[in-house]
Structure 1
Amino acid sequence: MNTVAVLLYRNLVASIDKVFLIWQVVFPIIYIFIAGYSYAGLLGGQGIAIGSTSVPYPAYLAAGMIGFNMMNSSTVAGSIIWNDKKNGMFKQILVMPFARMEYVLGNIVTIMLMGLASAGLILLAGSPTLLGSAQPTFVGSLYVLYALIVGAVFFGSIAIIISTRLKSSEGFNVIVNSVFLFFSFVSSAFYPSEGVPSELGTAFYINPLTYIVDITRAGVFNQITFFTNVEVGVIAAATAGTFLLATLSILRMKI
């Protein structure tokens, strides 16, 4: 655990762009208050159904942006690995008393902490939109925490897999941005799945981000149902498989 802590410290201090961190918080806040209230006007004040309740669109969007921002933060895992390969740092780390598995865990824990920190800031900044709609409970908070941690592992693993397969920064950025663009907009992060064409609705539930934001909203608005627990199980299985693939990718990566 000491070695993982050392790698975590190194990632937070030396490997993460501070401007990126600022943007990770500023962009969602701007989107919540500008897009949220703009689209709410187009909806004519109509609420969005979540379980047995209905919430204003800005509140719906604010809860969704928590999971969306966690996903964006996870790209850092891939960036760290790609830059380490490019600069020869990965080889130097392995010469020191660090195992490849510890390297993977250091990156995953980094993403977890970043995701939780950014989610907390967005929840705090977006609280004006959630007042009167959010129904915080201890159990609901556990669901939100679960969604953020599992989501960080899943999307961090995706970024790791992509970074180990590509040899140029341009290719890495193009592939990651394309994959995460699909995850972002073919999901319930910005709009509900009800009412969309059936083919698109099917794509929503192939997308892991839908499960993450659905579980997050269920926790925030205290609308935990049987289907929520089904989503918990599905995303857990998907995350376990993806993390295994990411670990194998690192273990097989040539220095």
Structure 2
Amino acid sequence: MTATVGIRVPQRSARHDLRAVKIVLHRELLRFRRDRMRMVTGLIQPLLFLLVLGTGLSSLMPGTGAADLKTFIFPGVCAMSVMFTAMFSAGSIVWDREFGFLREMLVAPVSRGAIVVGKCLSGALVATLQGVAMLALAGLVGVPYDPVLMLGLLGMMFLGALALTGFGVMLAARIKTMQAFFGLMQMSLTPMMFLSGALYPLSGLPSWLSTITLLNPLTYIVDPMRQAVFSHVSADPAVERAFNPGVHWGDWHVPVPLQLGIVVALAAVMIGVAILEFRRGE
């Protein structure tokens, strides 16, 4: 008679779920560290917008004092860098699904919510690390290396990256191929980028276009970062009114804490929807 070996599957618990979040986070950070080409390519488009487009258009819209068009678009370019990296990080779910690794994760004795949270946290952290490289260029566009400003921008980039990664994971939950994900990502990111005020002020737009910008989550990431930058640079009042009009609901100027609260709420909602999608799928 051969002896039967018993297998004990540990019960799910909060401690196991936290360990699962840590493992997913660690795996994504290792992938990011080893993929140097991804680090480089993730910076090319933001650098083109900042140094090429910003420099070219600055000759048409000269600023006054320490602020010019490059100073204006710097927060938007930082947000765009975070946005693209966060969405690509979310795309790793589709990659894992195609190669069967995701199924192995989903049968582990941990909640699927822990896997989703780990993916979102890792994507947000990777995107924020990518954004650090953009912050290193602040001096080239007249933005001071003030520690308070840099830490504030870093925190806002993390919040934005968390919301955008949650959005990407929510999309990736039902997509089976990388081709379909990249097509949907391109369709989503381009309108978000151009309707966020990242590259041009939101004031003076037609009413229908202004309404669309207020529905764009990226708007509430770009504007707090821009207001933080302009609070640390010297600019003519007329230039600041043109370059930093803020976000308005009608005649009411939306304060920065409320905008950041909206970003946090959107991150929670999108991550929650992503968790529900994963529980229903696979």
Letter of the 2:272 partner, please give it: L
Percent sequence identity over aligned pairs: 22
Give the AA of the match of 1:80.
Answer: S
1:162–1:220 Cα change, 3 Å: same
Find the counterpart in structure 1 of residue 116 from structure 2.
104
Query: TM-score, normalization: structure 1?
Result: 0.86
Given that residues 137 and 222 in structure 1 are in contact (C-alpha distance below 8 angstroms), is that contact kept between their aligned partners in structure 2? Answer: no
For 1:3 and 1:167, the matched residues in 2 are separated by: 23
Residue of structure 1 equivalent to 2:264: 236
> In the alignment, which residue of structure 2 is the partner of 1:125?
137
The amino acid across from 1:79 in the alignment is G
Where does the alignment leave 5 or more consecutive residues of structure 1 unmatched? 48-52
Correspondences of 1:1-255 after superposition (within 5 Å):
1-14=18-31, 17-43=35-61, 45-46=62-63, 55-131=67-143, 134=144, 136=146, 138=148, 140-141=149-150, 143-222=152-231, 227-254=255-282
How far apart are the structure 1 equivalents of 2:186 and 2:279?
Answer: 25
Query: How far off is 1:127 after superposition?
Result: 2.2
Amino acid at match of 1:212: I
In the TM superposition, residue 240 of structure 1 has moved relative to its aligned partner by 2.0
Rounded to whole Å, the distance in 2 between the matches of 1:236 and 1:6 is 24
- 2: distance between equivalents of 1:8 and 1:226? 34
Question: TM-score, normalising length from structure 2?
Answer: 0.78
Pairwise CA distance, 1:54: 8.1
Indicate if the aligned counterparts of 2:166 and 2:274 stay in contact, CA closer than 8 A. yes
Q: Please, which moves more after superposition, 229-238 or 189-198?
A: 229-238
Larger Rg: 2
- The structure where helix makes up a greater share of residues is 1
Count of aligned residue pairs for this structure pair: 245
Deviation string for 1:229-253 (max 9, x for gaps)?
2312222222222221112112222
The CA RMSD measured in Å over matched residues stands at 2.5
CA displacement at 1:58 relative to structure 2: 0.5
Contact in 2 for aligned 1:141/1:219 (Cα 8 Å): no
Q: Relative to structure 2, which stretch is displaced further, 206-215 or 119-128?
A: 119-128
Moved over 4 A (4+): 140-143, 223-226
Alignment partners' CA distance in 2, 1:241 and 1:92? 26
Check conservation: 1:141, 1:220, Cα contact below 8 A: no
Contact 1:135 1:222 in 2 (8 A): no
Residues 5, 106 of structure 1: 8 Å contact kept: yes
**How many Å separate the matches in 2 of 1:37 and 1:14?**
34
Tell me: CA distance 1:174–1:226, structure 2 relative to 1, closer, same or farther (3 Å): closer
Note the C-alpha offset of 1:100: 1.5
State how far apart, in whole Å, the 2-side matches of 1:191 and 1:127 are. 21
Q: Quick one: distance in 2 between partners of 1:228 and 1:14?
A: 34
